[in-house]
């Protein structure tokens, strides 16, 4: 699918505006922040976004020998495949002003090249790759701010979208299903390629994600201390992490509250539980006598329309997401009953947006997998990560679709992730 170069340029500019807004107040001590395994120093990450865009849209050549960077020594600073994570705090990074100048200079050159060579299919592909890469880093900046307790980049308003009922399970009949993306539908990542037939057994899936109120019952039953709810890996994680509740939950005067960025607020009962990892999701499922959906079941539930109809690109159909469909590019979670216009044909709600949803599935390649030019994106992580689906309130609306696969190690709870459950067979 060919995209008009002006649309690609607008996407680049929109992604930059969003990431710039999220990082606008990161200066002083916040430019490096604490040295943690799960985050990058913001100053390094801003430069990496510029480097990635420059490498693929300006420097990349088919012969494997990249052109020179406009920033001398950029590869030794920002190539994430070669710069060890724990060294990024001690690198001789350019100043914030110089880094932002590099960022702006690269974007100007890419826009100029796109205007000049917009008919080049390879350039159009790499512009989309760089745009979506920046979108993903914008979300990473967002959850990093939560992890380290910086202020909310998009302060919440007092108004909330109206919430309607979305309780119970949707019963799905299963059958033959094409899992994955089909050629001709626009840009997709290599781990989505290509659609292949799978058989889906009948199953029932929750119409909404697990709420804070539902998860609270697990916490107050002593679930974090009950070995029977945890597999061996989960119990080892829980013991090492010394957790008794989800990250950022705080008990004050007998009531549970939630740290949201730099504030402690009442725990919103009907919002989805957030910042739980795969082990915690699995333990809750054992407590509730439920299970996580497989990623096949998740995609089937999100994509299933009327009998005989084609597979949907989004839960509600093929129309691009709007503010009525999903909580995307927002300023926080919404109640799980909000956004009824985004429902699937079977009545499942918020399968795009609000919170990423853990699935039971390991991240593995699809049959016939062929690595794309950005070979570090998927291939190194097969077999060690778990699949999440759907996107969060901090995700880009341009990035997501029913076939989009996110992936993290099962111990990661810093991301904007929750889950929904399925009935046991």
- Answer whether residue 158 shows pLDDT above 80: no
- Answer whether residue 208 shows pLDDT above 70: yes
* pLDDT digits 0-9 by tens, 365-406: 999 999 999 999 999 999 999 999 999 999 999 999 999 999
* pLDDT digits 0-9 by tens, 210-254: 999 999 999 999 999 999 999 999 999 999 999 999 999 999 999
The pLDDT value recorded for residue 411 is: 98
**In terms of CATH architecture, what is 5-148?**
Up-down Bundle (1.20)
**In terms of CATH architecture, what is 156-425?**
Alpha-Beta Complex (3.90)
Helix axes 42-54, 121-148, angle to 10 degrees: 170
The pLDDT value recorded for residue 305 is: 72
* pLDDT digits 0-9 by tens, 312-370: 999 999 999 999 999 999 889 999 999 999 999 999 999 999 999 999 999 999 999 99
The pLDDT value recorded for residue 164 is: 81
69 and 59 Cβ atoms separated by less than 8 Å = yes
Choose among 303, 294, 216, 201: nearest CA to 251. 216
For residue 361, report the phi and psi dihedrals to the nearest 5 degrees.
-85, 140
The pLDDT value recorded for residue 53 is: 98
Distance in angstroms (rounded) separating the CA atoms of residues 10 and 7: 5
Mean pLDDT across the chain, nearest whole number? Answer: 95
Choose among 305, 311, 387, 320: nearest CA to 352. 320
Percent pLDDT > 70 in the chain is: 98
Angle at 386 between CA 385 and CA 389, to 5 degrees: 130
Distance in angstroms (rounded) separating the CA atoms of residues 408 and 415: 9
The pLDDT value recorded for residue 308 is: 67
Other CB atoms within 10 Å distance of the CB of residue 409: 13
* pLDDT digits 0-9 by tens, 160-204: 777 887 899 999 999 999 999 999 999 999 999 999 999 999 999
The pLDDT value recorded for residue 100 is: 98
Three-state SS across the chain? CCCCHHHHHHHHHHHHHHHHHHHCCCCHHHHCCCCCCCCCCHHHHHHHHHHHHHHHHHHCCCCCCCCCCCCCCHHHHHCCCCCCHHHCCCCCCCCHHHHHHHHHHHHHHHHHHHHHHCCCHHHHHHHHHHHHHHHHHHHHHHHHHHHHCCCCCCCCCCCCCCECCCCCEEEECCEEEEECCCCCCCCCCHHHCCCEEEEECCEEEECCCCEHHHHHHHHHCCHHHCHHHCCHHHHHHHHHHCCCCCCCEEEECCEEEEEECCEEEECCCCCECCCCCHHHHHHHHHHHCEECCCHHHHHHHHHCCCCCCCCCCECCECCCCCCCCCCCCCCCCCCCCECHHHCCCCCCCCCCCCCEEEEEEECCCCCCCCCCCCCCCCHHHCCCCEEEECCCCCCCCCCCCCCCCEEECCCCCCCCEECCCEECC
Domain ranges of the chain: 5-148, 156-425
């Amino acid at each position: 699918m060919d995209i008009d170069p002006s649309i690609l340029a607008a996407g680049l500019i929109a992604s930059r505006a969003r990431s710039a807004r999220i990082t606008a107040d990161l200066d002083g001590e916040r430019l490096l922040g604490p040295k943690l395994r799960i985050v990058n120093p913001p100053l390094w990450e801003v430069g990496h976004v510029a480097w990635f865009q420059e490498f693929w849209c300006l420097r990349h050549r088919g012969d494997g020998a990249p052109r020179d960077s406009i920033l001398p020594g950029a590869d030794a600073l920002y190539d994430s495949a070669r710069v060890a994570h724990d060294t990024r705090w001690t690198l001789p990074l350019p100043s914030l002003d110089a880094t932002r100048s590099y960022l702006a200079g690269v974007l100007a050159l890419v826009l100029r090249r796109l205007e000049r060579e917009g008919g080049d299919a390879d350039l159009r592909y790499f512009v989309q790759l760089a745009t979506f890469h920046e979108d993903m880093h914008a979300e990473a900046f967002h959850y990093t701010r939560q992890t380290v307790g910086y202020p909310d980049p998009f302060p919440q308003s007092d108004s909330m979208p109206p919430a309607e009922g979305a309780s119970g399970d949707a019963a799905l009949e299963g059958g033959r299903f094409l899992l994955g993306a089909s050629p001709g539908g626009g840009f997709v990542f290599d781990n989505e390629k290509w659609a292949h037939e799978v058989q889906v057994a009948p199953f029932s899936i929750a119409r909404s994600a697990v709420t804070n109120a539902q998860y609270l019952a697990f916490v107050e039953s002593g679930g974090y201390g009950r070995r029977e709810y945890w597999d061996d890996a989960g119990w080892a994680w829980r013991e090492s992490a010394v957790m008794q509740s989800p990250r950022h939950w705080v008990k004050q005067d007998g009531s549970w509250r939630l740290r949201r960025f730099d504030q402690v607020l009442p725990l919103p009962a009907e919002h989805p539980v957030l910042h739980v990892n795969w082990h915690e999701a699995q333990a809750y499922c054992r407590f509730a006598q439920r299970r996580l959906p497989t990623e096949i079941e998740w995609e089937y539930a999100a994509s299933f329309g009327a009998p005989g109809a084609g597979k949907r690109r989004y839960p509600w159909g093929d129309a691009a997401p709007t503010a009525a469909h999903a909580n995307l590019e927002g300023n926080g979670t919404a109640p799980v009953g909000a956004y009824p216009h985004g429902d699937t044909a079977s009545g499942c709600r918020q399968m795009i947006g609000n919170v990423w949803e853990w699935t039971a599935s390991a991240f593995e390649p699809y049959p016939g997998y062929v690595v794309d030019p950005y070979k570090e994106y998927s291939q190194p992580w097969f077999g060690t990560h778990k699949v999440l689906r759907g996107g969060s309130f901090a995700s880009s609306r341009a990035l997501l679709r029913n076939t989009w696969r996110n992936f993290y190690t099962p111990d990661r709870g810093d991301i904007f992730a929750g889950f929904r459950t399925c009935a046991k067979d």
